[in-house]
Every structure is written in C-alpha cells, then in structure tokens.
Amino acid sequence: MPFATSFIVFLFGCIGCQSCQPQIDVPDNPDNQPEPSTENVDTAETIDTGDTALEPPPCPIMEVEPNDNYDEAQLVFLEKWICGEYDKEFDLDNFGFQFPEDEGWLKVWGRAQSVGSLSDILITLDQGSNTAVSFAQAGTTDPMLIVPVTNEEALYATIYDQYGGYGENNFYEMMISQIKPPVEWNRNETDALGENNSPAGAETVEDGEIIFGTSSTNYDTDWFKFTVNEGETVQVTLELTAFSEGSPMDPIVYLYDDRIFTDSDAPYRAVRNNRSGEAGNLDPLLRYSISAAGDWAILVKNNGPGGSDFHWYIIDVSLEVE
Ligand SMILES: [Ca+2]
Ligand SMILES: [Ca+2]
Ligand SMILES: [Ca+2]
Ligand SMILES: [Ca+2]
C-alpha cells in the first residue's frame, strides 16, 4: 500500500512543521484534475495522544479558507470531524483526500440541521469521472453518501448550503471515513461493456440471488430475466437497497412479461419506485404473483439524475414457486 506508507510519512513528517506543502499524489494527473491546495492543514489537534480518557476535541480539523474550488481544496484526513462555516453567499468549501487502500467503501456524512445550524447542506463527491451528490437522508436534510471507491485518483468532497445561506448561524460538520460494505451480495451484474443494456442481453437470475450493480451512466439500464414453467405460480419479490444505505442512486424497478423480448414498446406489468409505507425511503420493494408461463424480464435503473460507479444498488431476488 504505497499510499498508506506515504500518508504516514506525510503525517508524522509534518508534525510541528510549519512549512510543509502537503500534496496528494495523483497518478497521471490530468490538467482538469488539479491537486488540492498546498495550504497548511492545522495538524495541532490531529495527533493521537493515546489518552482515551479525555473527550476528543469537538473539531479536530477546522476549515481553512479560501477553499472555493478544487485548486484551493483543503487537504484533510479520514476519520476526523471537519468543521466549517459559510461566510458568504454560496460559499463552496472543498476538501481533498486520498483513500488509504486499493479499494473499499467510503462514508461522507455532513451535519447541519441536526447540530442546530440553519443551513440546508448538500455534499458532492468527485473522483475522476465519477460524481455523486447527496441532498438528504430519510428523516433529515443532512446528507450522507456511502460509496465504493478506489485509491487510483484523488477524491474531492464539496459541501455547501444549497440555498446560499451564510452568517454565524450557517455552519456544518463533516466526517469522511472508511467503512465496511453496508450490504452483502452473492453475485455482480455483468455490465462492464453494457452487456445487459437490453432485454436481449438480460442476465438470467435465480431465486436467492442478491446482485450488486451500478447505474454507471445517465442512461444505464440493467436487464435480468427468469422463466416461469407451465403450471407454476411464482411469487416474485424484488427488494432494492441503495438510497437507504447511502447510495446516491434512486432506484426504480420494472417487471415485464415475454412480449418485451420481441417488442421494445411492450408495456410493463408492474413498477415500483419507492418503498410504500416508508416516507422518504426511495428503495422499492416489488411483489407480484405470476401464473403465466414464459420468460419474464426485470429492469433496474436510476430514477434520479446522474450515474457513475458511485451509484450502486443491490437487488435481492426471490422467486418462490407455489
Ligand atoms: Ca467556508
Ligand atoms: Ca469556501
Ligand atoms: Ca449497470
Ligand atoms: Ca446496464
């Protein structure tokens, strides 16, 4: 883990050093992907004293302005609270960091409403061509993103008040941390080249499969299929998990009968967008009873804007034969 090594060298090499110019090492750094600012980060309170009896300081990392674009992004560490404020209308606060392992899961969590701020905050996360945005979670306007990442390129988190509020009552706290995967699955979709982008390319699914997929572009469609035999009745249950576990995706799921394989305009038989009965949960649960023999198709796509490797979902497929 070359980055981890350099990170430690950087961390300890900089303690007490006022002239350090921390840089994120961006491989093949393209011109449109500037490195974070060389502004000094206040490391005074980021040193682990090993004294666990004391309450941790309320804010180990204070925002350093100017940080209004990626050129000026403030280099920050994972697992530390970052605190900042909006001192002008539409103040953009950018923070740059590197993921410490080859790949894993990242959580970016912002707090404003829940800590008494007047701001309604929004967080965007960028890495190379991947972009995600979070406006809110169920039950709070405070955003959270949980996404799979790699360490191939620098990551940037931008946090701002979506209505441009500013002043002493407009502040926020943000934590960026490495976490374990929020969900479990037992297979992946096959979509590197858009193989499943049409009913003709639908992937066969079986009862009990939990498929991990991404809505990798604005136009990505993920098709799956299964067969109902003559004389069978099948209780179909399709449970999507994405938004409720921090994905920026708003999944929608459709069920089609075998007409879709010969007629792209064939109507769907069922569709679900949100979880009925759970206000604010965008993850659908579709139940449908089938007694018509033949091939059936499932379509999963993003019902919201955008698409990237950050826009992940799992679909838990239950096909119960009665
Ligand atoms: Ca600010
Ligand atoms: Ca700023
Ligand atoms: Ca896909
Ligand atoms: Ca696809």
Q: What percent of the chain has pLDDT over 90?
A: 76
Angstrom distance (rounded) from CA 176 to CA 145: 10
pTM of the model: 0.81
pLDDT of residue 217: 95
Q: Select the more confidently predicted residue: 96 or 138.
A: 96
- Above 70 in pLDDT, residue 39? no
CA 289 to chain centre: 33
Average pLDDT of span 14-20: 33
Q: Is the peptide bond before 66 cis (omega within 30 degrees of 0)?
A: yes
Task: State in Å: Cα 125 to ligand 1 middle.
Answer: 17
Report how far apart, in Å, the C-alpha atoms of 177 and of each of 43, 144, 217, 314 are: 18, 11, 25, 22
Q: What is the dihedral of CA 21, 27, 31, 32, to 10 degrees?
A: -100
pLDDT of residue 7: 38
What Rg, from alpha-carbon coordinates, does the chain have?
A: 23
**Which ligand does the CA of 37 lie closest to?**
2
Task: State in Å: Cα 21 to ligand 2 middle.
Answer: 20
pLDDT of residue 139: 77
pLDDT of residue 135: 85
Task: State in Å: Cα 91 to ligand 1 middle.
Answer: 6
**CATH class of domain segment(s) 187-321:** mainly beta
- Above 80 in pLDDT, residue 9? no
Average pLDDT of span 163-168: 95
Q: Where are the domains of the chain?
A: 2-179, 187-321
Is 248 within 8 Å of 133 (Cβ atoms)? yes
28 contacts: CB under 8 Å, gap ≥ 6: none
DSSP of 12-41: HHTTT-TT-------TT--TTSPPPP-PPP
Fold of 2-179: Jelly Rolls (2.60.120)
- Above 90 in pLDDT, residue 57? no
Task: State in Å: Cα 231 to ligand 3 middle.
Answer: 33
Task: State in Å: Cα 96 to ligand 1 middle.
Answer: 14
Average pLDDT of span 124-143: 90
Average pLDDT of span 120-148: 92
Q: Select the more confidently predicted residue: 23 or 271.
A: 271
For residue 91, name the pLDDT band (cuts at 50, 70, 90).
very high
